[in-house]
């Protein structure tokens, strides 16, 4: 079957920018195209994926499978904490992580710190199926600011911290360092837990390994789980880190009880009672983590070499 390439948008999750691999989505309609203060923004509509947000040429979220990213990112850590009242979200301008956090009745305050106000406004208009009414919830405080500066300067302690960032390049690379993770740890309560995406172990194994090594240099417990995200076209990974909570040791019945007691509904990913099981790793992923990798630091930050071919 042939197609006109100009009718498609592509993302290249390879570093050599060749034709060795490309992930394509057909553009049925361009809904928005412009530039914020920080990045190029595009919203397209695709017959299968619905509305798709593209930032600097990289697919960020689609209506079709956003739950395959936001639920594993957020819910594993939310259910790990016995009573999450105060939650900090760094990034996550599409509002999907915020919407997942607010499903828990225990949450009294959810602070979302997003650098780019433009992404928030685009998401409110084109991705209501992703963010719902999360931005209008009385428990939400939206702060347009640098996430790292906020973490370093806040005196507040959070039960759960969700880090929902773009890949580690440009300004984002300084939010993948040991110093940043240390600042996050200092902003957490004694039983605090942090969640973040940790890139693709198959397409960017060295980047994945570096992030995990960096987390382990700060936190006592670091657990990883993987899953396929259709919009990205790759196996993706998620990390949970804490100095007091090991999710694999939480009783299944307790996880079910938390789901019921908090009134959490409409979960489309794994039910909480299965969370201890999803942290098992394949031999391939284990072998990646057995390789040496330098810890990312402010002086020598991790910077991913991926670049999208076109947007």
Give the pLDDT confidence of 161-201 residue by residue, as tens digits. Answer: 999 998 898 889 999 999 999 999 999 999 999 999 999 99
Amino acid 17: pLDDT: 38
Q: Do both 90 and 193 map to the same domain?
A: yes
Over residues 118-139, the pLDDT tens digits come to 999 999 999 999 999 999 999 9
What CATH number does residue 55 fall under?
A: 2.30.140.10
Structure tokens at 68: 């395959």
Q: Do both 101 and 119 map to the same domain?
A: yes
Annotation says 146 is catalytic: no
Q: Do both 40 and 174 map to the same domain?
A: no
Q: Taking the model in full, what pTM does it have?
A: 0.93
Over residues 210-252, the pLDDT tens digits come to 999 999 999 999 999 999 999 998 899 999 999 999 999 999 9
Q: Which of 164, 167, 246, 266 is catalytic?
A: 164
Structure tokens at 21: 């691999």
Question: What is the pLDDT averaged over residues 286-290?
Answer: 97
Amino acid 16: pLDDT: 41
278 within domain boundaries: yes
What is the number of structural domains in the chain?
A: 2
Torsion of CA 90, 92, 93, 94, to 10 degrees: -160
Parallel, antiparallel, or unpaired: how do β-strands 221-229 and 234-242 relate?
Answer: antiparallel
């Amino acid at each position: 079957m042939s197609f006109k390439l100009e009718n498609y948008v592509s993302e290249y999750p390879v570093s050599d920018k060749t034709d060795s691999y490309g992930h394509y989505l057909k553009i049925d309609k361009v809904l928005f195209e412009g530039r914020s203060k920080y990045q190029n923004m595009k919203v397209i509509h695709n017959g299968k994926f619905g509305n798709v947000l593209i930032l600097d040429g990289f697919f960020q979220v689609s209506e079709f499978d956003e739950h395959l990213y936001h639920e594993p990112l957020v819910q594993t850590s939310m259910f790990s904490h016995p009573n999450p009242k105060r939650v900090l979200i760094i990034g996550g301008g599409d509002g999907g992580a915020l919407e997942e956090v607010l499903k828990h009745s225990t949450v009294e305050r959810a602070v979302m710190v997003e650098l780019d106000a433009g992404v928030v406004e685009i998401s409110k208009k084109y991705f209501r199926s992703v963010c719902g009414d999360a931005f209008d919830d009385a428990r939400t405080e939206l702060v347009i600011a640098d996430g790292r500066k906020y973490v370093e300067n806040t005196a507040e302690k959070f039960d759960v911290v969700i880090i929902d960032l773009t890949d580690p390049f440009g300004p984002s690379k300084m939010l993948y360092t040991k110093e940043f993770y240390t600042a996050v740890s200092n902003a957490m309560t004694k039983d605090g837990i942090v969640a973040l995406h940790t890139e693709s172990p198959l397409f960017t194994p060295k980047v994945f390994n570096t992030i995990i090594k960096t987390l382990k240099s700060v936190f006592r417990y670091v657990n990883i789980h993987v899953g396929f995200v259709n919009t990205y076209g790759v196996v993706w990974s998620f990390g949970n880190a804490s100095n007091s909570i090991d999710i694999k040791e939480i009783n299944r019945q307790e996880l079910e009880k938390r789901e019921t007691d908090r009134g959490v509904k409409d979960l489309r990913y794994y039910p909480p009672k299965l969370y201890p099981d999803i942290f098992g790793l394949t031999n391939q992923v284990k072998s990646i983590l057995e390789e040496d990798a330098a810890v990312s630091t402010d002086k020598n930050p991790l910077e991913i070499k991926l670049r999208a071919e076109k947007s």
